[in-house]
């Protein structure tokens, strides 16, 4: 099907039924899938309809009349062969059963279920998904465990990373190109004499998501511990989706406000002034959680209607109290060689204050795009078939 993914199915096609407009496939598990002639014709992947090398669509449905299904049958190779007619024009399209099955609602929802977030709270302590550095870098299985953990739990710890500057970028590039920001391709989290961000002080950092002031904040954050001998400075994490779902149950009005009322976030220093306004909780069209955007030191002076001021502060205060509740918090002391990665659109991170005179603390951080994580997973799937 001009698809680099080898789409296989163990299910058999038991019957093919059609009229001029619709095709119905009956599968051996009792599932029936219907395809409209317009959609089927548009998704023909023959070399006339897709570029034979680039595999991109070249067929322009708008230049053709409405296609009618003239006949549909299974050929000797198990392909579904559909003959279309549009006025005087005819076309034959062939589809593998694996590709057809992959388009069905039952398979689509099974794939969505596989990647559905498994929400967590403090109970994850002691069960944090972990992968060894060598497995991750050298074995497809190690990379897959890391990717699945990021998708499911939104957090994973890589252990035994050689304590060398630059290893952070090697780890990131195993998945894809690094997503740069105004802090560069990567940044060193050390306390600085003239800090331009709270991260570069020994202050405690309340739970937050990074770069909330960007229209699209980075998806995956990687934080590598090179040195950590200070007193204090433990890392803290919380599953923002868990907190948001509990808020939705306990106080639907607060959830509604936080998912509709924009909050302005801003970062500015000598070299930039980057701001955006967006709700704290973003949901998709089905109401499923899409993104948490929460960062107190980047929160700007957000204008809001007077009637919203009190409920908005009440709702934000409720989230703060939940985030400070130990039942949601994972406390983790990062050891040198630990590299923690988490979904910055879901998992909030922070740290306890530390005594900068008691030792050294040096972390390095960078970001990855979710698209590259998903792509790496599909490439692993392709290799496995």
Binding interface with Fe ion (CB under 5 A)? 210
Instruction: Give min distance, CB of 2 to Fe ion, in A.
Output: 43
Minimum CB separation of residue 348 from Fe ion in Å reads 9
Q: Which is nearer to Fe ion, 35 or 186 (CB)?
A: 186
Q: Backbone phi, then psi, for 292, in 5-degree steps?
A: -110, 130
Neighbour tally for 110: CB within 10 Å: 10
Whichever of 135 and 210 has its CB closer to Fe ion, that residue is: 210
- CB of 261 or CB of 344, closer to Fe ion: 344
Q: How many residues does the chain have?
A: 385
Residue 154 C-beta: closest distance to Fe ion, Å: 15
Residues whose CB falls within 8 Å of the CB of residue 109, separated by 6 or more in sequence, listed in order: none
- For tokens 């229209």, what's the residue? 215
If you ran DSSP here, which 8-state letter would residue 326 be given? Answer: G
Closer to Fe ion by CB, 101 or 351: give it. Answer: 351
CB of 156 to Fe ion, least distance (A): 17
Q: In this complex, which beta carbon is closest to Fe ion, that of residue 210 or of residue 338?
A: 210
Distance CA(239)–CA(329), nearest Å, equals: 8
Q: DSSP secondary structure string, 257-320?
A: HHTTS-EEEEEE-SS-EEEEEE-SEEE-TTS-EEEE---TTTB------HHHHHHHHHHHHHHH
Q: How far apart are CA 218 and CA 241, in angstroms?
A: 17
Rounded CA-CA distance 295/312 in Å is 15
Q: Residue number with the shortest CB distance to Fe ion?
A: 210
Nearest approach, Cβ of residue 58 and Fe ion (Å): 45
Give the number of C-alpha atoms closer than 13 A to the C-alpha of residue 372, restricted to the C-beta side: 15
210 vs 343, beta carbon nearer Fe ion: 210
Question: Is 49 or 347 the residue whose CB approaches Fe ion more closely?
Answer: 347
Closest separation in Å from C-beta 199 to Fe ion: 6
Distance, CA of 385 to CA of 9 (rounded, Å): 11
> What is the smallest separation between the CB atom of 221 and Fe ion, expressed in angstroms?
7
């Amino acid at each position: 099907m001009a698809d680099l993914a080898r789409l296989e199915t163990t299910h058999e096609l038991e019957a093919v039924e059609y009229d001029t407009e619709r095709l119905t496939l009956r599968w051996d598990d009792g599932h029936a899938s219907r395809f409209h002639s317009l959609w089927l014709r548009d998704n023909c992947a023959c070399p006339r309809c897709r570029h034979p090398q680039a595999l991109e669509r070249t067929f322009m449905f708008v230049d053709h009349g409405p296609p009618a299904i003239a006949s549909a049958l299974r050929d000797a190779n198990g392909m579904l062969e559909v003959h279309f007619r549009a006025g005087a024009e005819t076309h034959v399209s062939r589809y593998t059963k694996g590709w057809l099955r992959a388009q069905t609602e039952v398979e689509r929802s099974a794939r969505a279920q596989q990647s559905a977030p498994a929400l967590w709270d403090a109970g994850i302590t002691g069960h944090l998904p972990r992968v060894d550095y060598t497995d991750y870098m050298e074995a497809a299985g190690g990379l897959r465990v890391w990717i699945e953990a990021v998708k499911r739990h939104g957090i994973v710890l890589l252990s035994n990373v050689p304590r060398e500057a630059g290893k952070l970028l090697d780890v990131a590039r195993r998945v894809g190109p690094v997503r740069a920001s105004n802090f560069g391709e990567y940044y060193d989290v050390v306390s600085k004499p003239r800090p331009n961000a709270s991260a570069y002080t020994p202050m405690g950092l309340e739970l937050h998501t990074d770069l909330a002031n960007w229209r699209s904040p980075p998806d995956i954050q990687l934080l590598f511990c090179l040195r950590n001998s200070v007193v204090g400075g433990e890392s803290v994490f919380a599953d923002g989706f868990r907190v948001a779902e509990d808020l939705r149950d306990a106080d639907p009005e607060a959830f509604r406000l936080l998912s509709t009322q924009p909050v302005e976030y801003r970062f500015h220093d000598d070299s930039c002034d980057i701001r955006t306004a967006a709700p704290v909780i973003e949901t998709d069209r089905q109401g499923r959680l899409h993104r948490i955007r929460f960062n107190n030191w980047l929160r700007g002076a957000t204008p809001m209607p007077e009637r919203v001021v009190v409920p908005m502060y009440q709702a934000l205060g409720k989230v703060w109290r939940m985030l400070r509740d130990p039942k949601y918090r994972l406390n983790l002391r990062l050891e040198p060689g630990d590299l923690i990665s988490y979904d910055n659109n879901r998992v909030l991170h922070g740290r306890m204050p530390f005594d900068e005179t008691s030792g050294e603390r040096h972390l390095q951080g960078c970001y990855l795009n979710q698209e590259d994580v998903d792509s790496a997973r599909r490439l692993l799937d392709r290799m496995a078939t």
